[in-house]
Amino acid sequence: MPRLNFTKKALDSLPVPADGKRANYTDTKVSGLELRVTSKGTKTFSCQRWVKASARPERITLGRYPNMTIEQARKQALHISGAIADGENPAEVRRQLKGEPTLNELFSDYLRRHSQLVKRSWREDERVFHKYVSPTLGGRKLSALNRRDFVALHATISRTAPIQANRVLALCSSLFGWAEDVGLWDSSNPAAGIKKNREKKRDRFLQPSELPRFFQALAAEPSDTVRDFFLACLLTGARRSNVLAMRWEELELAEGVWRIPDTKNGEPQLVTLPTQLVTVLNERRVHTTGAWVFPGTGKTGHFTEPRKGWERILTRAQALGIVKALAEVESWSEQRIQDMTEKALFQPTDIIQGCAVALGKHDMTPEQFSLSDLRIHDLRRTLGSWQAKHGASLAIIGKSLNHKSVQATAIYARLDIDPVRDSVTRAVDNLLAAGGVTAPGEVVPFKKKSS
């Protein structure tokens, strides 16, 4: 059997055997570690050791390359060799290796025994793990994972989503921390202590100049569920998860109050419902059935994924910004403005792509009109910023947004909902007026559209 120093370069360049044949190589660094290459190019690590009790060699399959790295294969081969040298039965060693959970299996336990029980955001944990972690590390045995794997995972995600990379790392660290607490992991946490990307605290909210095109883009949304959901997020300042799971039984529309029984900080919350939103909700009540204000077709029964709708709204808003800018610098006629505005609402991508050259003539680009840096959570921040703009105290803003801090808790506890209602009403009236949707105190004129 050919002997070879197992390196990535060496293994990647090994020839593929002829049909029906296979080749075996043994590592020069770790005794007993072998690599088998099939005619289809599959490369599998194994460990072969002489067993005195049976007076014959035993081979234990470790895993496929490159899913199992050379370092991991060497580590397992040394472990197996040591166990057999100590007199353990190879069949028992093989059984233990096979019975060791994979990272996917550990996460399933974590989700069922911890996350679903104590975290309102457990579905986000599930989504993040299966999107970012499972494809590359999920199938690995726990003993085959090390710190370098999570450093590499973080670096890969950081290329396109640096903040998300930090969240993924935090989830993995929590996963192994829990596993250690319940006795499923007895080594150091491989995802802990890894340097994270720098995060700048977000202070983004809808600016007065952005409000008209945002509301215009929102009103043109063909799905009434998407449109009304985002309007509720903006006008209540409530968290997305709470708005998605809003139930009719929690609403007192005549009083303009929404009682959220369980929030992120573990306490119920009374939310002011502005008159404009009450009108929209009353209209929804007529056209929806069931317990949910925003019903969906999934397992939860309610609407769960607003991202695609959000992207549609932001795309329309970008197109509207382009139309407005070109209309001003090129002195368009009223008819052309009307025609191009309609196209921006219903064919926004055509506007964004088709007006690039015209924008270039005026030293502008389509990107400068993009709202792609606006997040759904920024709607919550927008309400707070407009409350502050019109004189609300930090205590009132904190009460309306259900913020919790040690310093402010005592103050919040003494506040009733009336000053909060006054602050929210004043902020919403002025916010909508700035967006050109309605004059203060008037009902928001959104027409009912089919989903």
- CA 228 – CA 116 distance, rounded (Å): 28
| Cβ-Cβ contacts under 8 Å for 235 (sequence gap 6 or more) | 273, 274, 276, 277, 383, 428
Distances (CA, A) of 205 to 8, 209, 271, 321: 48, 11, 20, 17
pLDDT in tens, the chain (451 residues): 789 999 999 999 999 999 888 899 999 999 889 999 999 899 999 888 877 766 667 778 888 898 889 998 898 888 888 877 777 665 556 555 556 789 999 999 999 999 998 887 788 899 999 999 999 999 988 888 999 999 999 999 999 999 999 999 999 999 999 988 777 887 789 999 999 998 876 678 888 889 899 999 999 999 999 999 999 999 888 889 899 999 999 999 999 999 988 766 667 788 889 888 999 999 999 999 999 999 998 888 999 989 999 999 999 999 999 999 999 999 999 999 999 999 999 999 999 999 999 999 999 999 999 998 899 988 888 877 776 665 645 454 454 555 444 343 333 333 344 556 676 777 778 778 887 776 544 445 555 444 4
Predicted pLDDT of residue 89: 63
For the question of whether the overall pTM of this predicted structure is more than 0.85, the answer is no
- CA 261 – CA 250 distance, rounded (Å): 8
CA neighbours within 13 Å on the CB side: how many for 39?
4
Q: For residue 51, what are the β-bridge partners?
A: 56
Best CA proximity match to 318, nearest among 343, 344, 339, 342: 344
